[in-house]
Amino acid sequence: MTIFHFSPAVAEAMHAGRPVVALESTIITHGMPWPQNLDIARQVEGVVRDGGAEPATIAVIDGRLCVGLEDTQLETLAQARGVAKLSRADLAVCMAEGRTGATTVAATMIAARLAGIGVFATGGIGGVHRGAETSFDVSADLPELAVTPVTVVAAGAKAILDLPKTLEVLETLGVPVIAYGQDMLPAFWSRSAGLRAPLRMDDAASIARAHLMRGTLGLPGGQLVANPIPEAAEIPRDDLAPVIARASRDAADHGIAGKALTPYLLQRIFELTEGRSLDANVALVLNNARLGAEIACELNTLRA
Ligand code: PSU
Ligand code: MN
Q: Is 141 annotated as a binding residue?
A: yes
What percentage of the chain exceeds 70 in pLDDT?
Answer: 99
Distance CA(182)–CA(83), nearest Å, equals 37
User: What ipTM was assigned to the predicted interfaces of this complex?
Assistant: 0.97
Q: Is 75 marked active-site?
A: no
Mean pLDDT of 228-236: 95
Mean pLDDT of 24-42: 96
C-alpha distances out from residue 45 to 92, 121, 255, 286, Å: 26, 10, 36, 9
Distance CA(174)–CA(151), nearest Å, equals 14
Q: Is 179 annotated as a binding residue?
A: no
Q: Is 88 in the pocket of ligand 1 (CB under 6 A)?
A: no
125 CA → ligand 1 middle, Å: 6
Could you give the residue ranges of the DSSP H alpha helices within the chain? 8-15, 26-29, 36-50, 71-79, 91-96, 105-115, 132-135, 141-147, 163-173, 204-216, 237-253, 261-272, 276-303
Determine which one of 45, 158, 234, 294 is catalytic. Answer: 158
In DSSP terms, which residues pair with 56 in a beta bridge? 22
303 CA → ligand 2 middle, Å: 36
Cα angle 301, 302, 303; round to 5 = 95
User: What pLDDT score does 4 carry?
Assistant: 87
- Checking if the pLDDT of 241 tops 60, the result is yes
- Is the CB of residue 30 less than 8 Å from the CB of residue 262? yes
Domains along the chain? 4-301 (3.40.1790.10)
User: What pLDDT score does 3 carry?
Assistant: 83
Distance CA(285)–CA(277), nearest Å, equals 12
Mean pLDDT of 216-221: 97
Distance CA(76)–CA(201), nearest Å, equals 38
Q: Is 259 annotated as a binding residue?
A: no
Distance CA(33)–CA(81), nearest Å, equals 11
Confidence class of residue 304 from pLDDT cuts 50, 70 and 90?
Answer: confident
Q: Is 271 marked active-site?
A: no
**What average pLDDT does the structure give for the chain?**
96
* Those residues with Cβ within 8 angstroms of residue 163's Cβ, 6 or more apart along the chain or in another chain: 127, 156, 157, 185, 187, 193, 195
Q: What is the pLDDT of residues 170-212, one digit of tens each?
A: 999 999 999 999 999 999 999 998 999 999 999 999 999 999 9
Distance CA(80)–CA(274), nearest Å, equals 23
Amino acid making up residue 80: A
Give the number of the atom of ligand 1 that is nearest the alpha carbon of residue 104: 11
- Is the CB of residue 26 less than 8 Å from the CB of residue 91? no
Selection from 157, 266, 176 nearest residue 223 by Cα: 176
User: What pLDDT score does 158 carry?
Assistant: 80
Cα angle 164, 169, 172; round to 5 = 125
Q: What is the pLDDT of residues 101-160, one digit of tens each?
A: 999 999 999 999 999 999 999 999 999 999 999 999 999 999 999 999 999 999 988 878
Distance CA(254)–CA(273), nearest Å, equals 20
Q: Burial, 94: exposed, middle or buried (Cβ in 10 Å; 0-12, 13-18, 19+)?
A: buried
CB atoms within 10 A of CB 129: 24
257 CA → ligand 2 middle, Å: 8
Mean pLDDT of 37-62: 98
Q: Is 298 in the pocket of ligand 1 (CB under 6 A)?
A: no
Selection from 5, 107, 6, 21 nearest residue 285 by Cα: 21
User: What pLDDT score does 1 carry?
Assistant: 56
Buried b (16+ CB within 10 A) or exposed e, 182-204: bebbbbbbbbbbebebbebbeeb
